[in-house]
Amino acid sequence: MARFIGLHTLPGFTREMLAQATPHLDKQEGTRFLRAYSSFSEGKVVCEWEADDKDVIAKAYANLGFPYDSIHEVQAICDMGDIGVDTAYV
C-alpha cells in the first residue's frame, strides 16, 4: 500500500463534526486510516491514509460525505526518531 494525504478546507468544522466522522474512518474498504490533524479555528484538516491508489481514498471520502481539496501520494516522510530527525523515502 502507498501512503497518501488528503487536504481539506472546511469552514465551520467543529469538534462535534470530527467526533461524528471518527468511528467511520477505519471502516473504509481498501484503506487504512492513520491519523488526522485538524485546525478548527482555520477550518483545515490533513488526513493520512494508506491505500493502493488515490481513487480508493476519494471513494472513502465520498462514502463519508467528507469533501476534500486534493489527495497526494507521499514520496518522503521526515520524522523524529530515536536518533534524531530522519527521512524515509517511500
Per the structure block, which three cell numbers stand in for 77?
516522510
Q: Which residue ranges make up each domain of the chain?
A: 2-89
Extract the runs of DSSP E, i.e. beta strands, from 10-81: 31-39, 44-51, 70-73, 76-81
- Predicted local distance difference test score (pLDDT) of residue 66: 92
pLDDT tens figures, 28-54: 999 999 999 999 999 999 999 999 999
| pLDDT score for 19 | 95
- Band (pLDDT 50/70/90 cuts) for residue 58 is very high
Residue 83: per-residue pLDDT: 87
Give the class (CATH, top level) of 2-89: alpha beta
End-to-end CA distance of the chain: 10
> β-strand 76-81 against 84-89: which pairing, if any?
antiparallel
